Amino acid sequence: MSAHDKPDIRRHMERLTAEGVDVVRVTYPDLIGTDRARDVLVDHLPAACEHGLAFCRAVYHTTPQGDVVPVAGGLDAGLPDVTVRPDLSTLIALPWEPGVATCLGEVTDPATGAPAPESPRDLLRTVLSRCAEQGLRPIVGPELEYFLLEQTAAGWRRHPETTGAVYTAGLRADPSNHLLRTLRHLRDLGIGVITGNHEFDGGQYEINLTHSDALDAADRSFRFKAAVKELARRDGLLATFMAKPFGDAGGSGFHLHLSCEDAEGRNAFDDPAGAHGLSAVARHAIAGIVAHAPALAALLNPTVNSYKRFGPDTLAPWLIDWGPDNRSAMVRIPPERGAGARLELRLGDASANPYLAVAATLAAALLGIRAGEEPPPPLEGYGYDTARSAMLPTDLSAALDALEADTDLADLLGKDFTTSYLTYKRNEVERFQRHVTDWEFTEYAYHL
């Protein structure tokens, strides 16, 4: 920290003290998008900014159950540190936690001072720098769905289990007013929340965020997911962004709306004279996403459970296709043009790490733009016809193989990151394949 930074930190401390805040929660995303954090007393904020907070690098390689996967640079290197410094430009008080403010953390390797190799936020920055070289500034609008659950003696169930209340608001589908309380808290958190509603299935909700610069959109999506889960815990409930938590219900999506501005600030995807009102840049971006879709699935559908969300008539992508204002397509082109011209990638599910989902989508679009590719003919009518379009990978293992084979995408994301991600996720597949499920016991134990 240079000397001229100290007055700025002091001003932040004075403001926080005046607001009754005595703790700053410094958070950052791990490899799967879970928030890792440490609470710092305000008096110690200068030291945290100057020297950083030490975390074990292997937190990036730790499973949801707390086991450390043997990814290079972790166990094999003796479990070294990474350094996390508060990004005070993201500092804001937590509306539901009196006396606590929160900010994002910048993660570096203390040995080199460079970003940590697995840092999702820095991976996105790297891809954005490649977009800038092309004269493009990506704009992203995230849409995320989740289920709210309550625990009973029999296990977790939807809260509430009301059916048929599709696209509604109010007590009919939300008797505890979860959505209203959550919307207001998120508004006060300043992460650009605009609307919310009960979704298709019982206990399922969707909250929409504003469009903004890609890094800001990923930051807000990350903070959104963490906040929703924390607010549910305060009510004794569980908010889950798991792709498909129930066999008899649909899944939860993470749709990304993407456009780009050119050097003059104009929407580079709009062209009234172009096919479908889209510019060549937009068509090339669509072509890139379609071409690299199998590899994208590894990052936008990142769990074993993710692939149970796919299938015919699910309104979740099953095939690799695109179409104007067609919700059965993997890439939908909403009807707005002019400043609103954009594509909507419907591939991702809510379990995806926002930084990796945005970075991978931009990388695929950029590869298409660089290559000047044209997309295949658009989907007409209802999709899910394997005679017309190729299938996406049907499980995580196949998606990981597709990512490894897609050397152009892997090179743009970075070989070190890709290797770490593949190692981590293949370990997840191996652990699942060894696990005996309830279905297997029910199916076989009595009769065999």
What angle do helix axes 293-300 and 396-405 make, rounded to 10 degrees?
A: 120
Contacts of 213 (CB under 8 A, 6+ apart): 137, 138, 139, 140
Strand 155-158 and strand 343-345: the pairing is unpaired
Residues ≥6 apart with Cβ < 8 Å to 224: 142, 144, 186, 191, 193, 207, 209
Please tell me the predicted confidence (pLDDT) of residue 440: 94
Cα-based angle 83, 86, 91 (whole degrees, multiple of 5): 160
Q: Which residues pair with 62 in a beta bridge?
A: 68
pLDDT number for residue 223: 98
pLDDT value for 1:
41
> What is the predicted pLDDT for the residue at 165?
86
Sheet holding 100-108, edge to edge: 35-41, 23-29, 100-108, 81-93, 53-56
- Identify the pLDDT of residue 271: 96
Residue in the structure block whose two tokens are 């625990």? 151
Angle in degrees, CA 348, 351, 352, rounded to 5: 55
Listed in sequence order, the residues at least 6 apart from 410 whose beta carbon sits closer than 8 Å to its beta carbon are 295, 403, 404, 418
Instruction: Indicate the pTM of the whole model.
Output: 0.96
413 beta partners: none
Show the tokens assigned to 60. Answer: 């990036």
Q: What local confidence, expressed as pLDDT, does residue 183 receive?
A: 97
Provide the angle, in degrees to the nearest 10, between the axes of the packed helices 354-371 and 293-300.
Answer: 170
* pLDDT in single tens digits along all 448 residues of the chain: 443 477 899 999 999 999 999 999 999 999 999 999 999 999 999 999 999 999 999 999 999 999 999 999 999 999 999 999 999 999 999 999 999 999 999 999 999 999 998 999 999 999 999 999 999 999 999 999 999 999 999 999 999 999 888 899 999 999 999 999 999 999 999 999 999 999 999 999 999 999 999 999 999 999 999 999 999 999 999 999 999 999 999 999 999 999 999 999 999 999 999 999 999 999 999 999 999 999 999 999 999 999 999 988 788 888 999 999 999 999 999 999 999 999 999 999 999 999 999 999 999 999 999 999 899 999 998 888 888 999 999 999 999 999 999 999 999 999 999 999 999 999 999 999 999 999 999 999 999 9
Q: What's the CA gap between 123 and 363, in Å, rounded? A: 11
Q: On the CB side of 357, how many CA atoms lie within 13 Å of its CA?
A: 33
Whole-number Å distance between alpha carbons of 388 and 394: 17
22 contacts 101 by C-beta, under 8 angstroms: no
